[in-house]
Each structure stands twice: as structure tokens, then as C-alpha cells.
Chain A
Amino acid sequence: MSALDPEVANQLAEDLPPDVFRTIISTFEQDLTRLAQDLARAAQAGDQDGYERAAHSLAGAAAAVGAVGLEREARIAMDHRQPESAATVLPRLLTEAKAALQALRALTY
């Protein structure tokens, strides 16, 4: 399954000038790095609120660029009713993040 919702991501690439689109990807990458660290730190500290807050922000950032796979994993992480532990969700989430970034970069070529 593709890491990106082509409708959202392609629309964004069309709407914005290439240099601006590249800036957006760069901002997205910074968001990913920061929020992934926040998630891992919160999970390690047992800080459920912090974990859900970081997951929510990650879902928002992912949705904005059409990173559907990453958004799905982030929404699982932000839902405290779901049974999967952070140790299970986080690796999947990082994999999706890498795939989304790669797919977005491909749109700039």
C-alpha cells in the first residue's frame, strides 16, 4: 500500500511552487524527528498524556501532507483504548514515517 494519499499529496505539489513544496517537506521532516523523539521519551517515562499529545501532533502533520500510513499509526498511538503497546506501535510508525518522506521527496523530482 502506498505511504501517501495521492489525491492530497499530488494536490499539494500542484498547489505550491516547487521550492515552497520542498520547504514543506523539510518542515515535515523536522516535525517527524522532533515528535518521534517526544513519543519515545514519553513512552519511556510512562507519560501517557505526553505520548498522546505527540501522537496527535504527528497525526496532524501526516494528514496535512497526505501521509496516510503514518497518520493511521499515529492515530493508533493517540488512542489510549487500543491494546497495542508503544513498543509495538513505534517501530511501525517510524517505518511509515520513512516511507512517507521518501514518497514525498519523489514528488519533487
Chain B
Amino acid sequence: MLTPARVLLVEDTPTQAEIAKAMLRDFGHEIRHAENGTDGLALALEWQPDAILVDLLLPDFSGIELMRRLKAARVNAACIVLTAHGSVNIAVEAMREGATDFLLKPYAAARLRVTLDNALEKRALRQALDTARTALGRESFGGFIGASPAMQAVYRTLESVAGSKATVFITGESGTGKEVAAETLHQASPRRGRPFIVLNCAAIPRDLLESEIFGHVKGAFTGATENRPGAARAADGGTLFLDEIGEMPLEMQAKLLRFVQSGTVTPVGGTRAEAVDLRLVCATNRDILAEVQAGRFREDLYYRLYVVPVVLPPLRARGEDVLLIARHLLQHFARDEGKRFKQFDVAAEAAIRAHPWPGNVRQLQNVLRNAVVLHEGEVITRAMLPDLLLQGAPVMPGPPPPAPAQAASATAAIEPLAISEKRLILAALEHTGQDVPRAAALLDVNPSTIYRKLTTWKKEA
């Protein structure tokens, strides 16, 4: 016999039911019994059996109808039809409705055992095949698009860990989709439907970070005019995603460690600790272990957070994914911008495939949005793509982009400083494919300055 299985018997005649149950018990299976189709369907949905033995003639509706309803309800069990001599034709019809096999009544224990074992084995093989197909061939998962082996590994890890509460630590270059990974994890978890709270540690001034995460009570500091719950309490029952955790100041790391250890939050200025139930997901584009070795990240916190690592591959390591994503984005942007674009020409696809995309998917998004906005037609040609892409040259810090140069020129109109600042920052981001740390390096400011500005502009918009 195979391993013990869950077997649901749907049979209305007590004598027949007792005989089947006695045999199934002897085989070592777990058994449930329903005396009609309605109860059988309800039990199948609730209990999710591995196999169902269905009598063809039931008091409320036929076994064939039950098979149809099981199929419609996507009950993934091996169904075996029990039939008398006169109804073999109906049994064949049941096979067409998805029954794995049928048994002529009366049947001996050995016949039932062989039929059931075969059906269970067939089901196990089909499930293994489905899993293998899924693992090899998924072209998307959650918010991700990509069929490369590197992304299949990411999908598998996210899927495997989704059901647990274990902390997930996502690493990857800028633009690889760390927030997408966090949200995909949340959506695949039992916590979906509860809050998914994102906090960018680099975007928040260090003095406010504790309050942003743990909340504050009224009067805790100047400007704290009312009680505020903070991200941790807002995420209660759901997921808290701490992005750019490598930017978190050391003193804040100590407080985060206490929170991770105790599972309770104490708002700034408060005295009472409150328990919260959340799943923590962290991300950074830094080499977090190097940060630990350099003394910029607490080792004890590292071990608390680095439970399930997820490494997002750069776009250049994802093979043909770049084209899958580009085609998807083209459709999306064309729809969004009211354009007719449907596809790329061969040369454009070759250029996209050859480019190393240092800004990863975010850079690809910008390039394609730009091409869609600035051009017309049904096909994106090579000439519509930016020069840097055509040269196949990596985007490196080079001569200043046109916009800042114009802003700085003597002939440019005098404008408020805030507007010039915004123009320069956006130009630097455009130039680096939205890579905030590199844009910050070009502008000689801290990345947190750019994150803070972006947050402010978003709120203003």
C-alpha cells in the first residue's frame, strides 16, 4: 500500500458503506463517510480528501452530478465510481467527467486495494508533474515577470516561506524588485487581506525613525500633537517591510532588535509595551555581511533578521527575461499613454537584450516609458531607444545630463531654488536609471536626502 490517505466514501446503503469502511480501515486509511451527494460535496470541500469513492445512485443527486460539482469546486481528489453490473455505461460516463477508475459492486478487498492504490499513485504522479511543470515553466509569480532559472529559484523560495512567519531578508541591486518581492510574499501568505506596511529607512530622518516604526504618544517631543500608532502597530496581523535597512542608524538597530526579540512595541514617550503580531521583511541593496564586518550593522540583529535570505538577481543575469518584461511594459505603457505600440522590431529587441541594465527593471521601465511617450506608431524601433542603449554602453557617471546643464546656464530663466533642486535630482535619477545611491553620489548628497525629497513630492502630488 502507499502511504495512508484520506478517503471519503459517498454511499447511502448502510451495508455497502460498512463493508467499504471496514476494508478501508484495514488498509490503514483515514475515512470519512457521507450518505448523500450534498454532504459528500461539503465534506470534500472541508476535508480535502486524497480519494473519493462515489456511489452512482445517491438519494439527492447522481454520482455523475457529484463528480461535476467536485470538478467545478476544484476538489483535487482521485475519484473512483462504485457501480452495479447494470450501470457500467454510466461508469464510463463518469470516467469522462474525471473519475480515475470504477469498481463493480460487489468487490473484494483486494480489488478495492489495487484500484485505490492505482488511483492514489496516479494522482501523486500528476501532482508531481504539475509541480515540476510549475517550477520549470512559470513566466510570472505575484508581481514578478520572468521565466529564467534564477527567477524560478526566487519564486520557489517565496512560495515555500509564504506560509511561515519567518523573517525574510531580501537583497539585490537597486531596481531588481525588492518591494515587489516583499508584497508578493505578503500576498502569497495567510496574512493577505491584512495590512502590508512599507517603511523606507533611508527616506526618514534618523530622529523620526523610531517614531515612524513604533509610534509616539502625544507630547513625546516637539510637534507630537497627538498619539500616532507607527508602522509596527499599523502592520499588526500583516507584514511590515523595512526597505533600505542597511541605512538604519546603530542606535535604532538596538531598538529594532528589542522589538524583534520581544514582539512588543513601546511608542516614543510611552511606558506600556503592546504585543503585535506581524511578519517582518527587510531589504537592502548593500552587502549586509560587509556592513556587519565594518561595524555599521549589529551582528546580533543580522542573525535575527537574516533568517530566510532571498537574493534577487540583476536583470543582466536573467537571460531572456528582459524581453518578457519589456513586452509586458510596452503593452502597459501604450495602454497607459493611449498609444498604439504593440511590439519591438528585431533590432530593438537585440539592443534591449544586449544592454547590461545597471539600473535593472526600473531603468528598463524608464527607457520604455520614454520611448512610448516620445514616439508614435505600432512598432518600437531601434532608433526610438536612447543612444546609450544603442551603443550598448553601461550607464556610468559621465558628463552632466542636459537638464541640469540648462538649469545651470546663464541664459536659463531664474526660478525658485526648490524647482531647480527638483529638476536636478530628477535628472540625476533619470541618468542613473533611478538608482538613488548613484544619483546621490553624482549630486554629492546623502541617499536619504533624495528619498526624503521624493516622499515629499509624492505627498505634494
Number of interface residues of A (CB under 8 A): 22
Please give the residue numbers on chain A whose beta carbons come within 8 Å of chain B beta carbons, in ascending order: 8, 11-12, 15-17, 20, 23-24, 27-28, 30-31, 56-57, 59-61, 63-66
Tell me the bound Cα distance from A63 to B82 in angstroms.
Answer: 12
Residue contact A30 to B14, C-beta cutoff 8 Å: yes
Q: Which one of B103-111, B183-191, B252-260, B283-291 contacts A?
A: B103-111
Identify whether the interface residues of B are mostly helix, strand, loop, or mixed: helix
Residue contact B12 to A64, C-beta cutoff 8 Å: no
Residue contact B108 to A15, C-beta cutoff 8 Å: yes
Tell me the bound Cα distance from A76 to B320 in angstroms.
Answer: 70
Which residue from B15, B26, B84, B105 sits with its C-beta under 8 Å from A24? B15
Residue contact B14 to A61, C-beta cutoff 8 Å: yes
Residue contact B84 to A16, C-beta cutoff 8 Å: no
Closest 3 CB pairs of A and B: A15-B109, A61-B15, A64-B16
B171 to chain A, nearest CB (A): 60
Which residue from A8, A11, A30, A60 sits with its C-beta under 8 Å from B16? A60
Number of interface residues of B (CB under 8 A): 17
- Write the chain A residue with the least CB distance to B86: A75
Q: Which one of B17-25, B67-75, B237-245, B421-429 contacts A?
A: B17-25
Q: A11-B108, A60-B105, A65-B106 are in contact. Are A20 and B22 (CB under 8 A)?
A: yes
Tell me the bound Cα distance from A20 to B15 in angstroms.
Answer: 12
Residue contact B13 to A23, C-beta cutoff 8 Å: no
Q: Which residues of B contact A60 (CB under 8 A)?
A: 13, 15-16, 57, 84, 105
Tell me the bound Cα distance from A20 to B208 in angstroms.
Answer: 73
Residue contact A31 to B19, C-beta cutoff 8 Å: no
Q: A12-B19, A30-B14 are in contact. Are A63 and B57 (CB under 8 A)?
A: no
Report how many A-B pairs have Cβ atoms within 8 Å.
Answer: 60
- Write the chain A residue with the least CB distance to B22: A20
Within 8 A of A (CB), among B86-137: 105-106, 108-110
Which residue from A11, A15, A31, A66 sits with its C-beta under 8 Å from B13? A31
B14 to chain A, nearest CB (A): 5
Residue contact B84 to A31, C-beta cutoff 8 Å: no
Q: Which residues of B contact A63 (CB under 8 A)?
A: 84, 105-106
Residue contact A64 to B57, C-beta cutoff 8 Å: no
Could you pull out 22 A-B pairs where Cβ atoms are within 8 angstroms? A8-B106, A8-B108, A11-B108, A11-B109, A16-B26, A16-B109, A20-B22, A23-B18, A24-B18, A27-B15, A31-B13, A57-B13, A59-B84, A60-B84, A61-B13, A61-B14, A61-B15, A61-B16, A63-B84, A63-B106, A64-B19, A65-B15
Within 8 A of A (CB), among B1-60: 12-16, 18-19, 22-23, 26, 57
Residue contact B14 to A27, C-beta cutoff 8 Å: yes
Tell me the bound Cα distance from A63 to B19 in angstroms.
Answer: 12
Q: Which residues of A contact B109 (CB under 8 A)?
A: 11, 15-16
